[in-house]
Amino acid sequence: MDGAYFVGRGEILHWINATLQLSLAKVEEAASGAVQCQLMDMVHPGVVPMHKVYFDAKTEYDMIQNYKVLQDVFNKLRIVKNIEVNKLVKGRPLDNLEFLQWLKRYCDSVNGGIMNENYNPVERRSKGCKERGSKGSNKSSKSLQANRLSGGDSADGGPGVGKVCNNVAEGQYIEQIHQLSEKIADLKVSVDSMEKERDFYFSKLRDIEILCQRPELEHLPMTKAVRKILYAADAKDSPLPDANDIITKSPGLFSDETE
């Protein structure tokens, strides 16, 4: 077996934490692929599009996107390595350990096992998070720093930068959802109110229509005037003048009052 695979978990975790200023406790905490992307960013500055890396990935979809970024980097550098994404995103310890062991051997072969002192891992993570946020990404995912690290939130882009970025983005989405939910609720109340008012007046008009259909009333001028209004088809022109004409032209309708 290749000597790279004899490197223990403790050594792998120490290497990752020291190199990227993280506090991973288990190798499977690197299952999102973000750590691997940043390790490649360290040994090949400028090759990895850090704004596409989700350090706060919690869904398999976001994790797969990270591995796509990593695979693209491998392709650019002509690195022949099969990434078993389906196994890695499941968080299986052995699969993730073996991949990290291989990655450590590769990084050591590039830089001779010497850290790049000019590389600022916190700044690179912070930059990627800010760039992705400025592009309006609508994805919300789990932060390596927020959920797996012991470091707290830091305003200067410390180990909690993933948590800060994630919380800000989630806060904005939650506020937007809250505002839209309130608008929807108000619209529902308005619609319900209008429907009740419509049904109320419709029932009144229906009662009047039924009354006007009584045989002893349907021939009366007043009934004809009311039906003229009820059955008017044109909403623009009021039927009231015509209804008034029916009443005023009916002889004897107001004779009792004039006497």
Q: What is the pLDDT of residue 34?
A: 96
Interval 116-141: pLDDT, tens: 788 999 999 887 665 666 555 454 44
Q: What is the pTM (predicted TM-score) of this model?
A: 0.52
Q: Where is average pLDDT lowest: 69-78, 90-99, 135-144?
A: 135-144
CA distance 234 to 9: 83
Place of tokens 């916190």: 122
CA distance 171 to 153: 15
Give the rounded percent of residues in the chain with a pLDDT score beyond 90: 40
* Contact indicator for 28, 95 with CB cutoff of 8 Å: no
Mean residue pLDDT of the chain comes to 81
Q: What is the pLDDT of residue 187?
A: 85
Interval 173-201: pLDDT, tens: 787 887 787 788 778 778 877 887 888 88
Burial class (CB in 10 A: 0-12, 13-18, 19+), 188: exposed
Domains defined for the chain, CATH in brackets = 9-119 (1.10.418.10), 176-249 (1.20.5.1430)
pLDDT at position 146 over 60: no
